[in-house]
Structure 1
Amino acid sequence: MRFFYTSAIYLYYWVISIASLFNPKAKAWKEGRKGWANRLKKQLKNINNPVIIHCASLGEYEQGRILIEKIKKEDPTRAVVLTFFSPSGYEVRKNDPIADLVTYIPLDTPKQMKLFLEILSPKLVIFVKYEYWYNLMHQLAKRKIPFYYISAIYRPEQPFFKWYGFRFVKHLRKCSHFFVQDQQSKQLLLSLNISQISVTGDTRFDRVYQIAESGALLPYIEQFKSTYRLMVGGSTWPQDEQILYTWFKNYRDNYKLVIAPHEVNSERIEAIATLMNEFKVVRFTKLQETDLENAEVLIIDTIGQLNKIYRYADFAFIGGALGTGLHNILEAAVFGVPLFFGPKYHKFKEARDLIALQGATSISDTESFLEQFQFLDQDPEEYKKRSRICSAYVTASKGAADQIYQSIFEGSESVS
């Protein structure tokens, strides 16, 4: 099994190497790992026996961040190394002061992971959500270094739970403890004879609640919104923006529109500006050049604003679920914003929950969105009901970070 897995990893690296010739993200992935060992040795000055917290990308970072903050608050002397797999996470957070060091995780081969652990000599490792690195886990178990999964969520269709998945399960069983999001995940792990499990929920609830409680204000959004109502398109893709374009043609007299695309490269921003060119469009990076109060559409062409913009939203259309999968809905829900998103949401527990509670609405196309929006826009009482459902759901679901911290660092799973 190890031979075939490692061969697949080398094949993946070969594919990425070819893609890096014409794909900027693949190039960043490859370039970021060049000379990683020597660079890591130089960066490790005054960092001893750290806690490694590994995130695939930005979404997982938001789940891990609240735990890192908790670790640093309770023990400022404890070193934390934050690792990423994806350039979209590393490039945005490489200078983040929240951790003592931010780096790429190396390629998951026996040689590289052995060297990685020799250099870092970690106290423990925490994987966020469901990152699975066979050779890293093998080396951790071999060295008797505890490792944990937090905010983990599992589904029956994942390889671990198929007839051929038994070869992957061996290393899962070596995990010190699983902190899972729901009962289904617990039952699935139990079916693999894994019993070191706690249902603690998703740390993202703690993170978005923290953002809401901070009360961060955005004067430019206040000026842009003025006396209008506001629709926020969050983490959108082209198919989402097409729907919002048609919607805005019908509602521009009473609404303004913020679009924060999932990708903010120049091609995507230009495409959105072209789509919306019949309206008065302003970009975040050019606010000083525009009469903001008279603008109709605001394009957020940078990272880091969206989770604070939702405070001002009357409605939110969350992108991704018309394509590969839904993006973060909790950042909007915490502010009591009724939600719309596409049909591909079933992998996400919070989306299933809010659909069942009637705080969110799934649409399949422009026509269904216009129909569902009109109903809600014209019924103030139903709007207030859905708003209360969203905010109450987040409030009732927070607390995972404290439970996880206490278990790993203070309780029965404590690591001194």
Structure 2
Amino acid sequence: MYSLILDLYALMLRLFAPFSKKANRMLKGEKQTFTILKKKREVNASYIWFHAASLSEFEQERPLIERIKKEKPEYKILLTFFSFSGYETQKYYAWADIICYLPLDTNHNVVRFLNGAEPTMAFFIQPDFCFNYLDELAFRNIPVFSISSIFHRKQFLFRWYGKSYLNILRSYTYFFVQNEESHIILTEKEFNNVIVNGNTRFDRVFEIYEQKKHLPLIDEFLNKSETHKSCTLIAGNTYPKDENLILPYFDQHPEMKLIIVPHTINKSRLRNLQYKINRPCLLYSQATKSNIGGCDCLIIDWYGLLPSIYRYGNAAYIGGGFHSCTHNILEAAAYGIPVLFGPNYQRSHEACDILTAGGGMTALDAAEFSRIMDALLIYSHWQQEIGEKAGKFVAENRGATETIYSYLYQSEYIK
């Protein structure tokens, strides 16, 4: 079944490649991987392989990559991506020595990739189900670690039909899981190589918070205005259903400014978004110091800026809650601002926890979104109180990266 799914995916990718820029680049990128390895891999060097299926997963691996390179610069880093957005955003990432797409998880690709890469160890996130890669890594006695993992009982791995796939997870040398529930589930299945150490994403977002990256055009956008704006809402990773809540409210409140970062960035999506906004708006790529002061809404059409943009907000709305699941809430929470999101947040461990901590709120519909925003605009002390709880939530959950590095060093995987 797994092989059949891979074959169908490969077929669909080839069919869509002539019509999709993203599919075409992914297909070409996978083919180029073997050439990249042959040209760039240094003979006799020790490579640590980090795989990130997406940009979000890369942000979880990044603190560990940089800690290893700072402490042990003799190690080389091989970084692979599966997603188009992840690779395109980070293909010039300075801390990695080789960056490429990960070829599809077929037996032929796996053997060819590992022959070319020759990693001394490998890291995956939450965990990645590249079963053929895992099987071959185990066969070659290459240590492989799962970091920031979350498991739940409804996963197919723990159903009767997932038993064979569960056994492949025994290829992992060690699991660094985010919560006690994941630990219990794995130990019930006789996995003894598990430790609860939290989420490395907390370390990464706190690092971004401390950097406080300066974006001159955003400063101009907020400082230049014909009238004083009392509140700036940052709407990140939004889908059309999220915008159906945000934009009507924004249109009715001239005291607000809005910075919106759609989850998907392409010409059609941006054009439709601009059409729905009834106040002066501008694309970030078209903004200059001379024209940005005349708009009330700024649409970010560049990947990678969102984590640094949250610092400019009085509150944040995180998209995805009317789609499959709420996206990353921690990037906003780190700046000590209230975090709002839609009703489909249950699959986000961090979203559930920030609600418990009192630093986040969920809006089931437009009416509830309006009530929450009204309260944030009117009661500044309430806005500050919720924001402080959000910031505290992030600050108190740091430290996962240090736990992983200490284990690797003490166990002599890193020497």
Which category of TM-score, normalised to the shorter sequence, fits these structures?
Answer: over 0.9
Letter in 2 for 1:97: A
Q: Which residue of 2 aligns with 1:194?
A: 191
Q: Which residue of 2 aligns with 1:411?
A: 410
Pick aligned residue for 1:248 from 244, 247, 250? 250
Q: Which residue of 1 aligns with 2:273?
A: 272
Distance in 1 between residues matched to 2:192 and 2:249, nearest whole Å = 49
- Please give the per-residue CA displacement for 1:5-49, whole angstroms capped at 9, x wherever unaligned: 223312221122122232332222222112432332112245723
Q: Where do 1:15-414 residues align within 5 Å?
A: 15-45=12-42, 48-226=45-223, 227-228=228-229, 229-252=231-254, 254-276=255-277, 278-288=278-288, 290-408=290-408, 410-412=409-411, 414=413
How big is the alpha-carbon RMSD for the aligned residues of Structure 1 and Structure 2?
1.6
Farther off after superposition, 175-184 or 214-223: 214-223
Letter in 2 for 1:136: Y
- Please give the per-residue CA displacement for 1:326-364, whole angstroms capped at 9, x wherever unaligned: 111111000011011111111111100111222111112
Whether the 8 Å CA contact 2:360–2:386 is kept in 1: the answer is yes
Distance in 2 between residues matched to 1:195 and 1:237, nearest whole Å = 41
Whether the 8 Å CA contact 2:317–2:340 is kept in 1: the answer is yes
SS at 2:288 equivalent:
helix
Whether the 8 Å CA contact 2:336–2:391 is kept in 1: the answer is yes
Residue 289 of structure 1: CA displacement?
7.0
Farther off after superposition, 32-41 or 132-141: 32-41
Distance in 1 between residues matched to 2:283 and 2:109, nearest whole Å = 43
Distance in 2 between residues matched to 1:174 and 1:224, nearest whole Å = 51
Whether the 8 Å CA contact 2:137–2:171 is kept in 1: the answer is no
Whether the 8 Å CA contact 1:49–1:120 is kept in 2: the answer is no
Whether the 8 Å CA contact 2:82–2:102 is kept in 1: the answer is yes
Whether the 8 Å CA contact 1:48–1:120 is kept in 2: the answer is no
Farther off after superposition, 184-193 or 140-149: 184-193
With over 3 angstroms needed to count, the CA separation of the structure-2 counterparts of 1:78 and 1:250, relative to structure 1, is same
Distance in 1 between residues matched to 2:145 and 2:412, nearest whole Å = 10
Distance in 1 between residues matched to 2:218 and 2:170, nearest whole Å = 49
Residue 412 of structure 1: CA displacement?
2.8
Whether the 8 Å CA contact 1:21–1:27 is kept in 2: the answer is yes
Distance in 2 between residues matched to 1:189 and 1:127, nearest whole Å = 17
Distance in 2 between residues matched to 1:327 and 1:290, nearest whole Å = 34
SS at 1:34 equivalent:
helix
Distance in 2 between residues matched to 1:186 and 1:289, nearest whole Å = 52
Structure 1 gaps, min length 5? none
Residue 113 of structure 1: CA displacement?
0.6
Distance in 2 between residues matched to 1:322 and 1:167, nearest whole Å = 34
With over 3 angstroms needed to count, the CA separation of the structure-2 counterparts of 1:219 and 1:8, relative to structure 1, is closer
SS at 1:33 equivalent:
helix
Residue 288 of structure 1: CA displacement?
1.7
Residue 51 of structure 1: CA displacement?
0.3
Whether the 8 Å CA contact 2:31–2:103 is kept in 1: the answer is no
Distance in 1 between residues matched to 2:32 and 2:49, nearest whole Å = 20
Whether the 8 Å CA contact 2:78–2:97 is kept in 1: the answer is yes
Letter in 2 for 1:232: I
Distance in 2 between residues matched to 1:368 and 1:107, nearest whole Å = 44
Aligned length: 410
Distance in 2 between residues matched to 1:223 and 1:90, nearest whole Å = 30
Farther off after superposition, 310-319 or 45-54: 45-54
Whether the 8 Å CA contact 2:217–2:289 is kept in 1: the answer is no
Structure 2 gaps, min length 5? none
Distance in 2 between residues matched to 1:307 and 1:150, nearest whole Å = 21
Whether the 8 Å CA contact 1:47–1:100 is kept in 2: the answer is no
Whether the 8 Å CA contact 1:55–1:83 is kept in 2: the answer is yes
Q: Calculate the TM-score normalised by the size of structure 2.
A: 0.95
Residue 170 of structure 1: CA displacement?
1.2
Letter in 1 for 2:39: K
Letter in 2 for 1:263: T
SS at 2:176 equivalent:
strand
Residue 120 of structure 1: CA displacement?
1.2
Distance in 2 between residues matched to 1:152 and 1:47, nearest whole Å = 32
Distance in 2 between residues matched to 1:25 and 1:321, nearest whole Å = 25
Distance in 1 between residues matched to 2:171 and 2:288, nearest whole Å = 55
Residue 220 of structure 1: CA displacement?
2.1
Farther off after superposition, 387-396 or 288-297: 288-297
- Please give the per-residue CA displacement for 1:195-246, whole angstroms capped at 9, x wherever unaligned: 1111111111001100111132223222212242201111111111222110
Distance in 1 between residues matched to 2:117 and 2:304, nearest whole Å = 30
